[in-house]
Amino acid sequence: MDLSGKKVVVTGGAGFLGSFVVDRLKKRGCRDIFSPRSAEYNLVDRDACKRLYKDARPDIVIHLAAKVGGIGANRENPGSFFYENLMMGVQLIEEGRLHGLEKFVALGTICAYPKFTPVPFKEENLWDGYPEETNAPYGLAKKMLLVQSQAYRQQYGFNSIYLLPVNLYGPKDNFDPASSHVIPALIKKCLDAIKEKAPLITVWGTGKATREFLYVDDAAEGIVLATERYEKGDPINLGAGFEIAIKDLVVLIARLTGFKGEIIWDSTKPDGQPRRCLDTAKAQNEFGFKAKTGFEEGLKSTIDWYRTVNRL
């Protein structure tokens, strides 16, 4: 699919991942891109979804808008995370069908996988158990978009694809301690401790859990490649194909930020899912996606961006 002549709506296009996806679309020659802002289009509301399609008249919708956060935010907001993510996606897909949309790109989440998925996570393992409890409402809300996408493809011939990205990180990430994910939270902790000359930082959990991380610009390239080249109903993982223990991640971020103090582990706080690492073979086979940014390189870029923005 040549995107250069298409009208593309990118929900969440002004956000962390969305801004990189918009940049990638522009590099493909796409000039008619609309990123609805939540103040004008509250996509939880069906009428706002209808108005979006009427105003933008898109050929393609890339749905990135989501209510997201780390373990703490998920524990505190399970109801709103479930409802808002479900309603946004379900209504955008239904209105897209009624609009005669050429293609809908739905973004799922690694939180949709069962708590004890064999590593590396393969797409066919997606329905083998219940998600990790702290993330389950969010993960299941996003998982329903896969059910809807496949059902609509079967009944209506609706061209909807579903991508499962691993944890993202990079410049422009959310560094708010109340809702940030692990990498920005750790970067902020370390740099705050250096600034305040604090002797230690406290980190949630035991450090034994593992995670995989995908640099945001790589994720954006994967999403745009799938939009151009992937036309099937099967879900596809987007990842970098490695895992790192949180304990090792903390040591790495401390080194890269220059924090030399003590690291205290608060084991009364949850670790989340025990392990996370994706099998990324399908993305490479189906539409030629392979992550290019080395992990340490990506972390340095993220730290440098945060330092620049905060004049540290």
SS3 of 217-279: the string is HHHHHHHHHHHHHCCCCCCEEECCCCCEEHHHHHHHHHHHHCCCCEEEEECCCCCCCCCCCEC
Query: 138 catalytic, yes or no?
Result: yes
The two structure tokens encoding residue 34 = 């609309």
Preceding amide of 120 cis, omega within 30: yes
Alpha-carbon separation of residue 193 from 9, 107, 200, 243 (angstroms): 41, 35, 7, 27
Rounded to an integer, what distance in angstroms lies between the CA atom of residue 71 and that of residue 133?
10
Distance CA 119, CA 114 (A): 11
Find the catalytic residue in 138, 152, 169, 215. Answer: 138
Q: What angle do CA 14, 17, 20 make, to 5 degrees?
A: 80
**Catalytic positions, please?**
138
